[in-house]
Amino acid sequence: MTESFDMPIRPRRLRHTATLRAMVSETTLSVSDLIYPLFIDETVQVKTEVTSMPGVYRIPVSLAAEAAQEVADLGIKGVILFGIPLHKDDCGSAGWDDDAVVQQAIRSIKAQTPDLCVIADTCFCEYTDHGHCGVLKGEHVDNDVTLKNLQKEALSYARAGVDVIAPSGMMDGTVEALRSALDQNGWQHIPIMSYAVKYASAYYGPFRDAADCSPQFGDRASYQMDSGNIREAIREAQLDVTQGADILMVKPGLAYMDVIRAVKEVTDVPMAVYNVSGEYAMVKAAAEKGWIDERRVVLETMLSFKRAGADLILTYHALDVAKWLNDA
């Protein structure tokens, strides 16, 4: 005979069916939370898969609008563009050329899918021949000279029709410089999504393969953050809000859930997280080995970003996630 227990409080009651679990879920994930990165490459004529990122491609400018249409058709609201130019130099001047690779892609995408939010990563690592995020003075990035070039780059993107500027170089004063330049030139309506909290991370390896932007010497630890620091993250985020950032970002995501939560609790603007290339590649590699259930792991990770406080998720999984959610 089975003994019964008088237990009036049973949390399991609300887990009994899938419908009940969905009804009381504290955190939800939707397609509108996603932003998909696109690598627009001036050096290729056909889509070229990134070896270390299965399912991610370098896309020629001629196919940028087609790629964006696929994103929009899935219900994803935004893309972020990274450019690989034909020409690189010591200051990254292709970044502010009005006919450069990202500027061409912006115009093409906005003509094809005008309602899709086009975000431009605003930095120089893809455009410099040394792979660092600005103008060098010796072996160090000159912060203030780089700010002037970032202003030129942002204004060039604005002229092309970009919806959001996303500075990623971790130069001090970037948001203030870009806000000033945009406002003074009639682009007051363009928001800034700041990579406010960007760590010097080993998780970026495959991205550097995709964007052809590995530093030719040293690393970026003198301007990106130390992975042990969280008080510094809060300070960086608060500084950017004060300077006019409209959206903040924490990058990477998976190893920095505590940082997402900490920044979210002390700021009042939307929070983005970048689910970076190394995080993507690890999941893909394990899934190809049959060691994990890719769909379940990816959806669990996305939901965890939301639970930590993210409002927007930049992820290379976005196309798959959108298909899974649309089919649910």
Q: Which amino acid is at 22?
A: A
Secondary structure (H, E, C), the chain:
CCCCCCCCCCHHHHHCCHHHHHHCCCCCCCHHHEEEEEEEECCCCCCEECCCCCCCEEECHHHHHHHHHHHHHCCCCEEEEEEECCCCECCCHHHHCCCCHHHHHHHHHHHHCCCCEEEEEECCCCCECCCCCCCEECCEECHHHHHHHHHHHHHHHHHHCCCEEEECCCCCCHHHHHHHHHHHCCCCCCCEEEEEEEECCHHHHHHHHHHCCCCCCCCCCCCCECCCCCHHHHHHHHHHHHHCCCEEEEECCHHHHHHHHHHHHHCCCCEEEEECHHHHHHHHHHHHCCCCCHHHHHHHHHHHHHHHCCCEEEECCHHHHHHHHHHC
State yes or no: is 198 an active-site residue.
Answer: yes
Q: Which of 110, 251, 264, 284 is catalytic?
A: 251
Q: Which of 198, 264, 284, 306 is catalytic?
A: 198
Q: Is 45 exposed, middle or buried (0-12, 13-18, 19+ CB in 10 A)?
A: exposed
- Report the catalytic residues: 198, 251
